[in-house]
Structure 1
Amino acid sequence: MNRRATRSRAAGLIIAASLVAVPLTGCSVNASAGAGVDAESDALWAHRTPYVGDSNKALALIADTNFGPPRSYSIKLQTVNAPYDLTVTFPTTEVDGKPLDAIDFTPAATKLLGTIGNLDSVTVTSNDTPVFTLTAKQASKTLGFNVKQLGQDKRKLTDYVASDRD
């Protein structure tokens, strides 16, 4: 690997680590909650990736999608064989005082399924007990079009982000 590629990779790892490790004091559930629809869709569009195995982009997308406060969960990427899954695990049964089973993770999971090209499912667990799962097929059925179009058509992504805020 050449020196430029090594530096670029190291910089990417540092950025990814900061996305996970930097506490955001006073934040509620979403780091981009105060941002407008365009700002959120711009961030999602910029971080989209064809592969769930691109951990830097996956971490950035997770931070963009409203799963919970930073450091309140851990991530597991299933990238070896299809179906490819992204699992968000909470060590408790509540987030911001709200029971996990009362939280609708559908919008956040739909955004991930749409912006990560080969992602087949998103699972949320609490202490390794599944709380929520959404597959690309289920999200597509709900949307009325292939969820992957969110990562291919910025207008559709922006429209979905706007509808999530209604």
Structure 2
Amino acid sequence: MSTAPEGATPGFLVWRLSMKWRVAVDRATAPLGLTHAQYSLMASLYGMQRGGERPSQRRLADHTGLEPLYVSKLARSLESAGLLERTRDPRDPRAVQLALTEEGRERTGQAIEVVQGLLEQLLAPLGGLDSTRTREFKRELATLLDTPLDPANDHPKEQP
């Protein structure tokens, strides 16, 4: 039986699912000393580094969907904890490049394993990570994420 209220809007369900996920990741990564936001930043950076990239804070903000100011705050906190390095970009002295430290890579690897287990639990009702339903769900989520939202255009213009 669903815990979603009857007649719930898609927006409400997206919000509830995102909150459920955030809380679960927060709880799962807490023993590793990470919050959901820190995990998201570090896991994204981990993947980018594995791909040979040393992104700027701005690039990482764009990748994660987090506000640049928030990424800067998280990066400073993670740097203080010895999990991340911040250095000036030699090509652009205004930009700050980010990289995980050795300890940061180890902790992120552990966190990824924990969160992967949560993801498997979440997607089990759709047939698991590799199911056709999960692939379709992922495509639909990507479509929604790629749809621009402009609050200024949500009301029809008044006619003179």
**Bigger RCO (CA 8 Å, 6+ sep):** 1
TM-score normalised by structure 2 residue count:
0.27
Which has a greater percent of strand? Answer: 1
Look at both structures and tell me which one has the larger radius of gyration over its CA atoms: 2
Which has a greater percent of helix? Answer: 2
